[in-house]
């Protein structure tokens, strides 16, 4: 897998995740791969979500931003806890917000905007509690096949 991000862009996305997670017990991940192996990026995102173990958070409040950058496919999904809390159209609205930036080829800006939106919803429904919160999922960007190590 070719990493389409510069080190600075990758660091900016990780920082956006960290900032969003400061106010919530929720967890956010970004996964990039060259092309989507299935016709529906939402199906692939669900598979990556499971492969990354994102369903193992205590409150089932993980969010995944999935981008197959060469085939230009994108999806955002949340686990059962956050899905049951947000309005029915939230994920589609978040996706459209990100895609608006993608159409201008501002990919990192789009992902940062989506991460902020997800963080706001996570904060609303799963606020940070200093006594109980810990970082349950890695904040780093994952690449390629999540079941194998990054080269």
Asked whether 118 and 78 are in contact (CB, 8 A), the reply is yes
Q: How far is CA 52 from CA 8, 86, 114, in A?
A: 24, 23, 20
pLDDT, position 148: 59
Q: Which two tokens stand for residue 147?
A: 């079941």
In the DSSP assignment, the letter for residue 54 is G
pLDDT, position 4: 86
What is residue 32's three-state secondary structure? strand
pLDDT, position 98: 96
| Average model confidence (pLDDT) across the chain | 92
Asked whether 126 and 84 are in contact (CB, 8 A), the reply is no
Instruction: Report residue 1's pLDDT band, with 50, 70 and 90 as the boundaries.
Output: low
pLDDT, position 151: 39
Instruction: Report residue 150's pLDDT band, with 50, 70 and 90 as the boundaries.
Output: very low
Over residues 31-45, the pLDDT tens digits come to 999 999 999 999 999
What is residue 65's three-state secondary structure? strand
In the DSSP assignment, the letter for residue 24 is B
Q: What percent of the chain has pLDDT over 70?
A: 96
């Amino acid at each position: 897998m070719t990493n389409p991000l510069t080190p600075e862009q990758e660091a900016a996305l990780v920082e956006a995740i960290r900032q969003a997670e400061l106010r919530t017990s929720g967890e956010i991940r970004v996964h990039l791969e060259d092309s989507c192996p299935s016709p529906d990026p939402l199906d692939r995102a669900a598979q990556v979500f499971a492969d990354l173990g994102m369903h193992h958070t205590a409150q089932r409040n993980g969010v995944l931003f999935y981008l197959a950058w060469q085939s230009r496919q994108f999806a955002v999904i949340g686990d059962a806890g956050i899905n049951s809390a947000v309005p029915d159209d939230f994920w589609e609205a978040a996706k459209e917000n990100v895609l608006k930036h993608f159409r201008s080829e501002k990919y990192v800006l789009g992902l940062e905007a989506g991460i902020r939106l997800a963080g706001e919803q996570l904060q609303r429904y799963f606020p940070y509690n200093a006594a109980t919160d810990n970082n349950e999922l890695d904040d780093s960007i994952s690449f390629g096949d999540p079941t194998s190590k990054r080269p």
